[in-house]
Chains A and B, each alone.
Chain A
Amino acid sequence: MIVFLVFKVYPVILAVIMSFQNFQGVKSQEWVGLTNYQNVFELVRFNQALANTTVYTIGTLLILIPLPLILAVLLDSGRVVQSTVFRTLIFLPALTSLVVAGTVFRLILAEDGFLNLLLSSTLGIRPLRWLETADLALPSLILVATWRWTGINILYFNSGLVNIPRELYEAAVIDGASPLQLFWRITLPLLRPTTLFVVVLSIIGGYQVFVEPFIIYNGGGGPGDGGLTMALLIYRTAFTSFNFGTAAAMGVILAAIIFVFSLIQFRYFGVFSRED
């Protein structure tokens, strides 16, 4: 309890207090009311970071929900030979050090790297400058996220699939349902709680993304700050500008965004528990 209070509650309270202070440098705190919050919304970078983070989160949702879901169903269907091997391989990235992965991805994304080679040999696309083009920063980060999180999400979906009674499928098959109908009518509806759980986790993870851009872009926001995320901006404001007040205000705003999504989560889960 004491550990929880000291390491969890105290920093949160301190951050909220700091967000109402002009706190630039050592021993410089003074109360400034809502000035930090006003400043935050005037910063071009903040809006850019908020937009980038939102696009990144949506991007990860669009890929990291359907892809692992389909893969989990396939692996669970018994039609894949050596499914345990596949599962392990897909899960491995989650265990890999991101520092190593960051370096490898820099080489993969380089102009003469593997990704361009793959794209040009299969789709005939001219080499793209992934690491030097602002508009390609978020797609690059989403690619890394896909690599990293697909395995974990498969694990979640898999645990959901195990809980679906086999009799339902057997009964449906006897009634002449096609595999596609089984998926749409049984698997998907019964996986809804798991899917929602993964969605909310992905949203929280998406808004908090820090390590991926930090590693790939050497602590920066990438070309033209195209990969600047909220967490990176908070870090930059605190540790480059030594402006803990504004950084704390950004942190509170980020926490508020995540809090709203968490509320939605509780509501949906509440609805489901009544259904049960």
Chain B
Amino acid sequence: MSKRISLLLLVAILIGSFGFGVSVAQDATDLSLWVFVDRHGLFMQQQAERWNEVNPDRPINLTYEQIEYTQMHDNLLASLLVGAGAPDLADVEIKKFATFTKGDIQFVPLDDAIDPYREDIIQSRLAPYTAGGHNYGIDYHLGSFVMYYNTALLEAAGVDVNSIVTWDDYIEAGKKVTQDTDGDGTPDVYMASIETTDIFSTYAIMLMNGGGTYNADGEIILDSPENVAALQFMQDLVHVHGIARAASGGGHHSPDHFVDLTEGRIASLWMPQWYMTRFPDNMSSTLASVEVVRPMPIFEEGGYTTAMGGGTGTVITNQIDESKIELAKEFLAFAKLTYEANVALWTDLGFDPMRVDVYDDEALLIPMDDFMGEVPFTYIKAGLGNVAPEYTGPFYPEIATIMQTTALYDLIENQKSPEEVIAAALAELQAMGAEVGG
């Protein structure tokens, strides 16, 4: 008898354990993700855990792999080209996205997964990852441009940071802050640095002035009067007002530029909100403690108050197993567009969320250790009154390449006129097969 019971128990345990094992293996859907920023991967994994708590009947097992920026995009492109080897989900950076939309698009449209959240988010954030009327990617953040001021330098020059509202105010303040302290004929402190090998500084001004690279109809508008004026404004900051210099190393992510900021040679710069993390991470805590975040100066009352810069959209590749598509879409929207996810975007990643209704959540209003102990989000939010939309198109990557290799260099270093710089850019785009109007 006891033998029989033991046998039954053994069988029951075996079946039980086997069944449990199978049920987990069957239920937890494996999803793979490629990222080029480790924090993005961690964030998505945390969201997967949250998903599993809310949806215990449909758990997912998200694994991510971090690959260096260029290599990740190249690997993804190659995998999509040959039709094998791509992950289920992948991060695609904004400047790279249009490259992937040439020929047959190898991503899964996300329209119906985004639909339930459409009313809650700043919808123009979807535009950069849209092709042929379909949304293919969801960003991690809004990436609104803000101004970063070194209060120590501004105070030393007798400038109240809160008095700067318009760009005219900014230029006037800049003239006080920019100083040649050692008397060798070149200023040792500049009000601003602007980029010649990257596009952030200039795109912000172009967009805030009503320009940009493409319009809503998908036409290249580089030669619009707004863009010409924007480029002139950039050139004047350096050569007429003398308050700005080209960033050391050409870009705001160059190690020598970080040194300039740390050493107090640059009093302010405008970059997207995510640049906040660079102060403590890439520069120094001393600098991070005296920097403050303020809204962008405006050109005119009623004009755009900020623009969006940079970004990374998570996409679903068409190499995902068909049975996983719906779950992956639902999870992606859950991870990026739900209220909780958007709060986490700020608390975990330090990014400005694209959902409007979380702006008043108390989690976003906690004072920081750095940034003068302020609540930066108060100022980030204050700048979001009228966000300039950014439209992209098939030649968006090439336009960025031209801008950051020759156009901005010619504009700032060689002092060529905006018209000349734009004409050269358009001629080059035309030679590549782009329709440039006129």
Contact = CB atoms under 8 A, between A and B. Distances in A.
A59 interface: no
Interface size range of chain B in the complex: 35 or more
A26 interface: yes
A39 B401 CA distance: 18
Interface residues of A, number: 37
Question: Which of A43, A111, A222, A223 counts the most chain B CB atoms within 10 A?
Answer: A223
Nearest to B410: A224
Interface string A95-128: 0000000010011001111000000000000000
B73 A223 contact: no
A132 B254 CA distance: 11
A81 to B, nearest CB: 39
Contacts of B246: 132
A25 B256 contact: no
A240 B410 contact: no
A24 B404 CA distance: 23
A228 B398 CA distance: 15
Contacts of B409: 134, 223-225
Contacts of B249: 106, 110, 131-132
Contact of B103 (A28, A133, A236): A28
Given A132-B248, A223-B413, A27 B103 contact: yes
A110 B248 contact: yes
Contacts of A132: 196-197, 246, 248-250, 413
Contacts of B406: 224-225
Contacts of A113: 256
Contacts of B256: 106-107, 110-113, 131
A111 B405 contact: no
Contacts of A31: none
A224 B104 contact: no
Given A221-B405, A240-B398, A44 B431 contact: yes
A100 to B, nearest CB: 13
Contact of A242 (B102, B250, B413): B102
B205 interface: no
B74 interface: yes
Given A39-B431, A43-B428, A24 B103 contact: yes
Interface string A228-264: 1000000010011111000000000000000000000
Contacts of A110: 248-249, 255-256, 259
B70 interface: yes
Contacts of A106: 249, 254-256
A26 B78 CA distance: 10
A224 B102 contact: no
Nearest to B106: A26
Interface string B77-113: 1001100000000000000100111111010000000
B248 A236 contact: no
A175 interface: no
B54 interface: no
Given A43-B428, A111-B256, A132-B248, A240 B413 contact: no
B413 A241 contact: no
Given A132-B413, A241-B432, A24 B102 contact: yes
Contact of B77 (A27, A44, A223, A242): A242
Contacts of B80: 26
A240 B397 contact: yes
Contacts of A134: 409, 413
A63 B166 CA distance: 54
A87 interface: no
Interface string A193-227: 00000000000000000000000011111111100
A223 B196 contact: yes
B15 interface: no
A43 B428 CA distance: 7
Contacts of B363: none
Contacts of A27: 103-104
Nearest to A25: B103
A276 interface: no
Contact of A241 (B250, B397, B405): B397
Given A27-B104, A28-B104, A220 B405 contact: yes
Nearest to B432: A241
A33 B27 CA distance: 53
B104 to A, nearest CB: 5
Interface in A261-275: none
A221 B250 CA distance: 12
Contacts of B96: 240
B404 A224 contact: no
A111 B257 CA distance: 10
Given A25-B102, A106-B255, A240 B401 contact: yes
Given A110-B256, A131-B250, A132-B250, A42 B431 contact: yes
B12 interface: no
Contacts of B11: none
Given A43-B428, A131-B256, A224 B413 contact: yes
Interface in B389-438: 397-398, 401, 404-406, 409-410, 413-414, 424, 427-428, 431-433
A112 B68 CA distance: 29
A204 to B, nearest CB: 24
A106 B257 CA distance: 12
A25 B105 CA distance: 8
Contacts of B73: 239
Contacts of A131: 248-250, 254, 256
A239 B73 CA distance: 8
6 residue pairs, one from A and one from B, having the closest CB atoms:
A25-B103, A25-B102, A224-B409, A28-B103, A26-B103, A110-B256
5 contacts: A26-B104, A43-B428, A106-B254, A112-B259, A242-B100
Given A228-B405, A239-B99, 6 more contacts: A24-B102, A113-B256, A132-B248, A224-B413, A240-B401, A242-B100
